Structure 1
Amino acid sequence: MSGYFLYHSIGMFPGKSEAVGAALADYAARWSAEDDGQWGYALERQATFLKLWGQVLNAPDGTVAQAESVTASLYNLVRALPEGRLRDGKVLIAQDCFPSLHFLLAEVVRRLGAELVTVSPAEGEAWVSDDRMIAFWDRNVRLALLTWVTSTSSHLSDLERLVQHGADMGSLVGVDVTQGIGIRPYDIARIGADFTIGSSLKWLGGVSGAAVLQVSPQLIEECSPELRGWFSQTNPFNWDLDSFAFAPDARRFGNGTPSPLPAVGSIPGLSYVLETGVEALAKDNIQKTARLCEWVLAEGLSLASPAASTQRGGSVMIRLPETIDPQSLLAALRSEGLYADARGAILRLSPGIVTGVEALEHLTTTLGAQLEPGVTA
């Protein structure tokens, strides 16, 4: 039995410790060998990482680059756009985005002479609906950043509808897939976003430092990254200071000496997801989250996520009563071998493939006891 409900933070898969340990041990041995094979091995591992991400996204070859974080991915893309592309226009983002991305855009958009428009939920709603985004999305929106699955409600956006609206408005459209990738199918060819950013953490079971930026071939041709270096070139060993030229593909979003270690640590999780199949992982997750939602509603608690599985990602969020201290509640769960977290009064529960069915029952029983009137969590 595993009481792990933290896939929205760090994902797990069967045998993760052994698989990641073996990958890192192999890296340590190869990197420490007293020969000249280190970089050939390391760059091959990074190439494998990018290939696996391409398969997860169903992205064209040569359109995926590694970044240190999702925030760094977004920065690199926005600062690579043609000069004036955003000036005097709007950049659109939902209030329930991942906050780090908003922190970045608030300053970068100002420096680029554009206006950041932050769409809040409609009155009485716990997330920014697709209708709400479209209501604020006019022809002066030069770029829109969509959150596929929110980290505070697990609301699942209708990306095809939103991206099509963006095309009708003449906007560039990017998607942050971090909270949904690996637990719901994502297909670049079907969705048609101009760029996609994501992390190897969460449902992919990877490590931090292994984010990605995927850019459509058409947009790659327009981009001239400000953050550049020797690995932005087709041939990194071109050291002629007067003949720098960007690589024709996503390699141009590289910069200085790459960091392959996070890629090495994330390959086992990516491999597991691809070998198991996102559809199979989604089916398992939907069954578990449906049981959680049924229990929440039956108990008369406040569900802070969509009730319908077609509108929900892999998590279930519960709005805790005002009488409950979230940290005390988490400590009580932890003492029972149940692991979750909270954002303010929102309890976040994300069951994945290692989360046991028995643990699900144990969770609801424990929560029920802790949330009874008169019980101090």
Structure 2
Amino acid sequence: MTDFAATKALFHLPEGMIYLDGNSLGPLPIAATDRMNEVMRGQWGEMLITGWNKAGWMAQPTHLGDRIGRLIGAEPGHVVVGDTLSIKVYQALAAALELTPDRRVVLSDTGNFPTDLYMAKGLLDTLDKGHELRLVAPEQIDSALSEEVAVLMLTEVDFCTGRRHDMQALTAKAHELGIVTIWDLAHTAGADAVDVTRVGADFAVGCTYKYLNAGPGAPAFIYVAPRHAHNALPALSGWLGHEAPFAFDLDYRAGPGIERMRVGTPPVLQMAALDAALDIWDRVDLADVRARSVELSERFIAKVEAHCPDLQLASPRDPDLRGSQVSFRFAEGYAVVQALIARGVIGDFREPDIMRFGIAPLFLDENDIDGAVAILSEIMREALWDRDDYKVRKRVT
């Protein structure tokens, strides 16, 4: 059994703060500070450029990829870390389209994270081959699958409501129709025991700064199934995805397997933070994490609905249909979130009226849930949100 009191002690959590935004940015693992200092002083400082060899910096993207792979059920050697999630979406989609050259439809849903859709539309416009990005409501994905679809590109957990797709069923049906699948696991990795191997996903991508707690701007990851690893075209032909990057050939030759999905220089300092964050996951059973998440989420929903009748649940009520976040609707939701933040409860807001609360068991417990609801109920009961300064939109909401 996972000791969640022990994992909570491994994070820096500011005194007096209840942090319900780990679904957007995880808190600082205490060990990350020393790890980054070690890399900065002992490696960068003392080794300088020789650190690429002596400290093994160049191998970190695949080493860390395997550590993340364990959390998403990937086969060893089929996940690599680097760049941003947007870049990895682009790579996965470009490779998937090359695998289905006779089809022209990329299917996604209206609840997908906008940057995934932006990257898809940009790529399709650049290709200029008559492709269509087709969007349907999340609940209509199953019926929209057909033999004209080239690629199914979905985020497993909706960033706004926490609604979950049935990854296994949709992947199976897609494959029956000859469709290649791409799953964005940004709101899944570190929140649930997803298994890309068992599901049969073709490609998966995700970030490491949410539930994996690697820090702001931490690198993304991409998974390529073994059946595609040696023929998936990387599209973004960066020098570190080259078969022999230090041969400095003028012609690109894709590297073997997952190595071809590397693009730019690895972010060494950020990878040090990720490495420290992943140490915590070595102590954790993901099934325990999911069970605890459901327990805390159910507690949060019940108490909010009992004490804040003006708020409407936006997430699925069935825990099997939602990820590790709970969202409520309220017309003045932005102001409510600002009032919460002013009182030490950190959630966030998504247009037009969604208040999001991440339930991350590694550092949250019943006292946090109860304390957050007590403050929220006071804000709603006394309309403490109704202040002009709480209604002024900040750049990050």
TM-score (norm 1): 0.89
Q: Secondary structure at the match of 1:62?
A: coil
SS at match of 1:280: helix
Residue of structure 1 equivalent to 2:143 = 135
Counterpart contact for 1:11–1:203, Cα < 8 Å = yes
From the superposition, tell whether residues 172 and 88 of structure 1 become closer, same or farther in structure 2 (CA, over 3 Å): closer
Give the AA of the match of 1:93.
S
Task: Find the residue that maps to 1:283 and give its secondary structure.
Answer: helix
1:196 maps to 2:204: yes
1:39 pairs with 2:52: yes
- Which residue pairs with 1:245 in the alignment? 253
For the residue of structure 2 that corresponds to 1:79, the secondary structure is: helix
Comparing 272-281 with 98-107, greater Cα deviation is found at 272-281
Using a 3 Å threshold, how does the CA distance of structure 1 residues 119 and 372 change in structure 2: closer, same or farther? same
SS in 2 for 1:91: strand
Counterpart for residue 276 of structure 1: 284
Q: Say if 1:87 and 1:105 are closer, same or farther in 2 by CA, change over 3 A.
A: farther
Offset at 1:152? 0.5
Residue 74 (structure 2) pairs with residue 66 (structure 1):
no
How far apart in 2 are the matches of 1:82 and 1:302?
Answer: 40
- Corresponding residue SS for 1:118: strand
Contact 1:2 1:355 in 2 (8 A): no
SS of match in other structure, 2:19:
coil
Number of aligned residues: 361
Aligned counterparts of 1:43 and 1:49: Cα–Cα separation in 2: 11
> Which of 115, 120, 123 pairs up with 1:100?
115
Unmatched 5+ residue regions in structure 1?
121-127
Per the TM alignment, residue 266 of structure 1 is displaced from its structure 2 partner at its CA by 1.0
| RMSD (CA atoms) | 2.2
User: Which residue matches 1:27?
Assistant: 39
Give the deviation of 1:316 after TM superposition: 0.4
Task: Identify the residue that residue 131 of structure 2 maps to in structure 1.
Answer: 114
The residue aligned with 2:346 is 339
Tell me which residue corresponds to 1:206: 214
Is the contact between residue 96 and residue 180 of structure 2 (CA under 8 Å) also seen in structure 1?
no
Distance 1:374 1:247, change over 3 A: closer
Partner of 1:310: 320
Q: Paired residue for 1:79?
A: 94
Distance apart, 1:283 and its partner CA:
2.3
Distance in 2 of aligned mates of 1:313 and 1:358: 21
Equivalent AA in structure 2 for residue 53 of structure 1: I
- Partner of 1:331, secondary structure, is helix
Aligned equivalents of 2:63 and 2:23: distance in 1? Answer: 25
Q: What does residue 123 of structure 1 align with? A: none
Letter in 2 for 1:284: R
**Identity of aligned pairs, percent?**
22
- 3-state DSSP of counterpart to 1:153: coil
Q: Secondary structure at the match of 2:107?
A: strand
> In the TM superposition, what is the alpha-carbon distance from 1:234 to its structure 2 partner?
3.8
Pair 1:350 & 2:362 matched: no
Is residue 2:30 matched to residue 1:18?
yes
1:221 alignment counterpart: 230
